Structure 1
Amino acid sequence: MHRLHSFYAKLFEIDIFGHIKGFHPVSCAQRIANWYLRFMDNNRNAPAAPAHPSNPDQNIDQTMITEQLITGNGQLLRDHDLLQYFLAIVSPHSDTRLLASRLIGKFGGLAELLSADGEAIQANSGMSRANTALLKAIHTACLHLIAQPVRCQPMLTSWPALLDYLRADMAYLAHERVRILHLNSKNYLIKDEIVSEGSVDHAALYPRKIIKRALDLGSAALILVHNHPHGESAPSREDIAITKKIGAAARSLGITLHDHLIIGNDGCFSLRSKGLL
């Protein structure tokens, strides 16, 4: 994580919003990313947080929250506090309290909000392009940090890091996404490729296109991944059938299908670990 300090410094010090220049949240960015993973691990099955703070008339103290983030106590902050803090970076003279409450109420939580489509976020009254861009930048920064071990190590020896990355990117999407991880003969990542974006309950998965793409890239192995929006990660009959079809086609050409992972609100389901591959 320490190797990414310069990345975050550059990301947040660029003066694209007018009020961010000079803000130095290197430690804050790490705390945000750590909070993001803790949120998914500890609150995946927890009841939804209230859409407003316990005292909606009480504004957060920006200086206090800055100190908590820098000193490593960011885990004590509520979703609402963090969101209000982010919004106030761009709009320091606006009352962001009610806007934060509305957004948390609509999307269900900060993780869901950060994962949402940028256009869907900006469509909310009070959200400027600058505010929306900052939230998406925070989400992107978290994904860059979480994905670092996946990019630098053999995939099969960094499995927990891979699952963290996939959950962070896909667990809170409102639509289905299919991605293929292409690996070389030493199981290092060649390409992480999103191949389909679908509706709330369907995204296309075409075996012939997947195998052709693997041959084009010279892939020695594949990992299939897709998510179940707002649902359990257990596979459907169609999921199992298409996995076996892709696995057989891959084997016939000397390509290994390591796994098919399904990301849901309840975690991650591995078809290989359940003997379904």
Structure 2
Amino acid sequence: MTDPSAEPDAAGPVTRKTPPRHSGHRERLRERAARGGLDALPDYELLELLLFRSIPYKDTKPLAKDLLARFGSLEGIGAASHEAIDDLVARSLNIVRGKQSRATALDLQLIYDVARRVAREPASKRAVISSWSALVAYVRVALQHEPREQFRVLYLDKKNQLILDEIQNRGTVDHAPVYPREVIRRALELSSPNIIIVHNHPSGDPTPSPADVDMTRQVIAAGRSLNVTVHDHLVVGRDGVASFKQLGLM
């Protein structure tokens, strides 16, 4: 009986298909991860393991390294646009952009969003003001690698627990429009007496600008007459998180 895994070569005789060169590498990597734990793997190998599920028939190591080189880190990959990841996947694998590249981009962004929501849970389950480390971890995951400025407001209840994290505006690489009255109007709609303002600096430097200081004072003034308190304004950059309250700017 003919072996169904065999096929005729150019000369006619039946030969067996050769397994892909990377199949043994995949098993070795899985075994190493199982023995030593995922923490022992460098970022590119952790990314390889993830890509095994999206790309079952190609060597994923070059793609993992290309993704890290292009976007700088695992967080950077997760924060990148779907189109940018889709394009890089297609070029790295030498395929036409389509179902496989789109599915791979979605899988990568899915992992990032899961991580972002996990980081948000401690901040949303405890009083935000008293869990500073959880708050900082959350805003960094949410905004650290955003390529454009994004202005968000954390609306809190009377116990300073998170009601809603809402994106108010998205802007350019160095500006996102802010409307103080709209921020306070939304707080009244949500019955939120306390808010924290958050925005990012795509440049990486979280140092507040004079315009940031002026805008914050406008929001504070708009809220004061309506009993809405601005607890802090956080500026997020790749180099860290700056707090207006800690800097004495409010």
Cα-Cα RMSD: 2.1
1:71-116 deviations in whole A, cap 9, x for unaligned?
6732222221122221111112111122222222211222211111
| Alignment partner of 1:151 out of 124, 127, 142 | 124
Once residues 119 and 137 of structure 2 are traced to their aligned partners in structure 1, the CA distance between those partners, rounded to angstroms, is 7
Q: Contact 2:197 / 2:234 at 8 angstroms: preserved in 1?
A: yes
Q: Check 1:75–1:129 CA distance in 2 against 1; reply closer, same or farther (3 A cut).
A: same
Q: Check 1:159–1:91 CA distance in 2 against 1; reply closer, same or farther (3 A cut).
A: same
Secondary structure of 1:123 counterpart: helix
Once residues 200 and 107 of structure 2 are traced to their aligned partners in structure 1, the CA distance between those partners, rounded to angstroms, is 25
Does the alignment pair 1:198 with 2:178? Answer: no
Q: Contact 1:60 / 1:81 at 8 angstroms: preserved in 2?
A: no
Q: Check 1:138–1:68 CA distance in 2 against 1; reply closer, same or farther (3 A cut).
A: farther
Once residues 251 and 206 of structure 1 are traced to their aligned partners in structure 2, the CA distance between those partners, rounded to angstroms, is 15
Aligned to 1:236: 209
Q: How does 1:250-265 map to 2 (within 5 A)?
A: 250-265=223-238
Letter matched to residue 223 of structure 1: I
Q: Contact 1:115 / 1:172 at 8 angstroms: preserved in 2?
A: yes
- Between 217-226 and 78-87, report the one with greater CA deviation: 78-87
Task: Give unmatched runs, 5+ long, in structure 1.
Answer: 1-56
Aligned to 2:154: 181
Once residues 155 and 59 of structure 1 are traced to their aligned partners in structure 2, the CA distance between those partners, rounded to angstroms, is 47
Letter matched to residue 151 of structure 1: S
Secondary structure of 1:193 counterpart: strand
| Alignment partner of 1:91 out of 55, 76, 80 | 55
| Alignment partner of 1:172 out of 122, 140, 145 | 145
Q: Check 1:252–1:83 CA distance in 2 against 1; reply closer, same or farther (3 A cut).
A: same
Task: Calculate the TM-score normalised by the size of structure 2.
Answer: 0.82
Q: Check 1:83–1:222 CA distance in 2 against 1; reply closer, same or farther (3 A cut).
A: same
Aligned to 2:15: none
Q: Check 1:76–1:242 CA distance in 2 against 1; reply closer, same or farther (3 A cut).
A: same
- Between 84-93 and 219-228, report the one with greater CA deviation: 84-93
For the pair shown, the structure with the greater C-alpha radius of gyration is 2
Task: Give unmatched runs, 5+ long, in structure 2.
Answer: 1-20, 94-99
Instruction: Select the structure with the greater relative contact order (CA < 8 A; seq sep ≥ 6).
Output: 1
| Alignment partner of 1:104 out of 32, 45, 68 | 68
Identity %: 38
Letter matched to residue 211 of structure 2: E
Once residues 260 and 197 of structure 1 are traced to their aligned partners in structure 2, the CA distance between those partners, rounded to angstroms, is 17
Q: Check 1:211–1:164 CA distance in 2 against 1; reply closer, same or farther (3 A cut).
A: same
Aligned to 1:76: 40
Once residues 271 and 73 of structure 1 are traced to their aligned partners in structure 2, the CA distance between those partners, rounded to angstroms, is 40
Once residues 148 and 170 of structure 2 are traced to their aligned partners in structure 1, the CA distance between those partners, rounded to angstroms, is 7
Once residues 60 and 168 of structure 1 are traced to their aligned partners in structure 2, the CA distance between those partners, rounded to angstroms, is 35
Does the alignment pair 1:266 with 2:250? Answer: no
Aligned length: 221
Task: Calculate the TM-score normalised by the size of structure 1.
Answer: 0.74
| Alignment partner of 1:247 out of 220, 235, 240 | 220
Secondary structure of 1:128 counterpart: helix
1:21-57 deviations in whole A, cap 9, x for unaligned?
xxxxxxxxxxxxxxxxxxxxxxxxxxxxxxxxxxxx9
Once residues 141 and 24 of structure 2 are traced to their aligned partners in structure 1, the CA distance between those partners, rounded to angstroms, is 27
Secondary structure of 2:166 counterpart: strand
Secondary structure of 2:195 counterpart: strand
Q: Contact 1:180 / 1:223 at 8 angstroms: preserved in 2?
A: yes
Aligned to 1:122: 86
Does the alignment pair 1:62 with 2:26? Answer: yes
Q: Contact 2:150 / 2:171 at 8 angstroms: preserved in 1?
A: yes
Q: Check 1:71–1:191 CA distance in 2 against 1; reply closer, same or farther (3 A cut).
A: farther
Secondary structure of 1:174 counterpart: coil
Q: How does 1:214-229 map to 2 (within 5 A)?
A: 214-229=187-202
